[in-house]
Amino acid sequence: QKEVEQNSGPLSVPEGAIASLNCTYSDRGSQSFFWYRQYSGKSPELIMSIYSNGDKEDGRFTAQLNKASQYVSLLIRDSQPSDSATYLCAAPRGGYQKVTFGIGTKLQVIP
């Protein structure tokens, strides 16, 4: 079982819809989780971090964490074509020094 699993997609949503990106992890000891966005040909950039069970909102983005189910999700409301990118879920291990990334979900927002 991979440490961090994501569906590689592509996930296609119409402009203005809610995009839902999902991630599961295997290490029950993981305490924090991150969502990175990577545009094609560019480097990953952090867009959300979440440490506690429940929801965390930042603008159009909401991260959701359920530690009992070992599940993390990212919701993007009012999706825009500029949100089209690959979204990488990540979890640190070993005192935050090592970060394991999922394979990433490619999101396509259709105008």
Partner 1 sequence: DTAVSQTPKYLVTQMGNDKSIKCEQNLGHDTMYWYKQDSKKFLKIMFSYNNKELIINETVPNRFSPKSPDKAHLNLHINSLELGDSAVYFCASKSTDTQYFGPGTRLTVL
Q: What are the CA-CA distances from residue 35 to residues 72, 111 (Å)?
A: 9, 24
Of 1, 69, 82, 97, the residue at the interface with partner 1 (CB under 8 A) is 97
CB of 35 to partner 1, least distance (A): 12
CB of 83 to partner 1, least distance (A): 17
CB of 16 to partner 1, least distance (A): 27
1 binds partner 1 (CB under 8 A): no
Of 34, 35, 76, 83, the residue at the interface with partner 1 (CB under 8 A) is 34
**In what side-by-side order are the strands of the sheet with 71-76?**
4-5, 19-25, 71-76, 61-66, 54-58
Distance CA 76, CA 69 (A): 21
